[in-house]
Amino acid sequence: MSRVSTATVDEVAVVAAPDPFWNRERRLGVGITVIGLLATFVFGALAESKTARFTLSADASGAALSINGQVGTILFGLFTVAVGVIMLTGKARSWQTLLLCLGILAFVLSFLCWQVAGKFMPLVDTLDGSLEYALPLILGALAGVLGERSGVVNVAIEGQFLMGAFGAALVGTLATSVWAGLVSAMVGGLIIAAMLAVLAIRYLVDQVVVGIVLNLFALGITGFLYERLMQPNALKYNQPPKMPEWKIPGLAEIPVIGPVLFHTNLLVWLALILVPVIHFALKNTRWGLRTRAVGEHPTAADTVGVRVRGLRYVNVLLGGLVAGAGGAYFTLVSTGAFNKNMTAGAGFIALAALIFGRWTPFGALGAALFFGFAQKLAYYLSVAGSPVPNQFLNMLPYIATIVAVAGLVGRVRAPAADGVPYVKS
């Protein structure tokens, strides 16, 4: 049985580059320089010489950071080039990640200056929207972290979202309680997770196959019940209350960040708290050590007395609860009613965030926020009438993930036993 992972494919491994000159940093440097030149000359030439206003509120009013669009575009473009050149010299290896982030940030800012020239972009609204788009992605990716760090591939995040969204709408309406809705959303995620766990761990079915089929199953069953119950009688079955927004006095007054982080709903806080909690638990608790052991080397874990299958069951089910809560976002926070296939591939973006974030909670958070920002930006640009088609911005998460797994921007490595059922010998 050959093990194939993203990290190394023994039989097709690229020979470790013997040429030390074109190391990873220089290759990245080339990339950053190229996009910097693109920003400087192409974006710069296209940008209008009008003021770009980034307002610090949710609309056009109030204080704003203003800059001439063309100047800003070229300035940030040149900054990107500079970062790229520094990386090319190969003298700043220890600052590699920081430089990479800086380069990409400057590129994004250059792009924004081009697009916003002559218009305004409300920062609070942008951040708020990014976080809102990112919310289900964070929870979905965390569900993936829980399962995959213990060695169970979870492609069924989409299905867990759908069941969660459906459960939240149905029970939330019947009980006229948003909290009952949230709980049943988690139960909905749990149902799919339980099916995944039993089929993958007990019956050793290929986990990717199970995931894909469970997605389809969830799509079918929620669509079926939607058409049979909710469509004919929406008032009775499909009008869940929306999740209230709470304001923390004091903190909510902080400019920009305040209204985004401290005047929001419980689900956002839940997601943002779960990230450090899971990070800490994975690193420092007995459960975390065992999870990582089972995900990397189940035989060794079994030898020292860890119940491999039991732990995997627990983790997959926990993941189901978290992903189900992510599903609640769609009905209790976003739209306020269930609709057929309403998650529309968000589960797969969450999967992308998980992989892009290298199977770590904070990585997943960062990736989810990045993807959320891309989505919000796509929305903003389509409303603002930008010539850049929003479909291409929406492709960003997927392309970024392909680039990441192909090792163009550092290698991502899955837990060694991810997706390999454990059979006690």
**Beta carbons within 8 Å of 151's beta carbon, 6+ residues apart:** 294, 295, 298, 312, 415, 417, 418, 419, 420, 422
Cα–Cα dist 299/306, whole Å? 9
Q: Which CB, 213 or 294, lies closer to another protein?
A: 213
Sign (positive or negative) of CA dihedral 38, 394, 206, 293: positive
Q: Which CB, 12 or 304, lies closer to another protein?
A: 12
Measured between its terminal Cα atoms, the distance across the chain in Å is 15
User: What's the min distance (Å) between Cβ of 377 and another protein?
Assistant: 15
Q: Which CB, 219 or 266, lies closer to another protein?
A: 219
Residues near another protein (CB under 8 A) are 1-14, 153, 155, 195, 199-200, 203-210, 212-214, 216-217, 219-221, 223-229, 340, 345, 348, 351-352, 355, 389, 391-392, 394-395, 398-399, 401-402, 405-407, 414, 417-421, 423
User: What's the min distance (Å) between Cβ of 118 and another protein?
Assistant: 24
Q: Which CB, 2 or 94, lies closer to another protein?
A: 2
How many beta carbons lie within 10 A of that of residue 235, not counting itself?
8
User: What's the min distance (Å) between Cβ of 349 and another protein?
Assistant: 8
User: What's the min distance (Å) between Cβ of 424 and another protein?
Assistant: 13
User: What's the min distance (Å) between Cβ of 52 and another protein?
Assistant: 26
Q: Which CB, 164 or 295, lies closer to another protein?
A: 295
User: What's the min distance (Å) between Cβ of 423 and another protein?
Assistant: 7
User: What's the min distance (Å) between Cβ of 365 and another protein?
Assistant: 20
Question: Hey, what are 206's tokens?
Answer: 């290929």
Beta strands in 260-395 (DSSP E): 263-264
Ramachandran area for residue 117 (φ above 0: left; ψ -120 to 50: alpha; else beta): beta
User: What's the min distance (Å) between Cβ of 70 and another protein?
Assistant: 27
Pairing of strands 51-55, 64-68: antiparallel
b/e burial code for range 41-53 (CB count within 10 A of at least 16 → b): eebbeebeeebbb
Q: Which CB, 316 or 417, lies closer to another protein?
A: 417
Cα angle: 320, vertex 219, 158; to 5 degrees: 40
Is-contact 411 361, C-beta < 8 A? no
- Sheet containing 120-122: order of strands: 64-68, 51-55, 120-122
The secondary element (H helix, E strand) that includes residue 261 is: helix 257-261
Q: Which CB, 72 or 327, lies closer to another protein?
A: 327
User: What's the min distance (Å) between Cβ of 217 and another protein?
Assistant: 4
Cα–Cα dist 100/43, whole Å? 20
Q: Which CB, 177 or 382, lies closer to another protein?
A: 382
Rounded to the nearest 10 degrees, the angle between the axes of helix 361-384 and helix 266-284 is 150
Q: Which CB, 196 or 261, lies closer to another protein?
A: 196
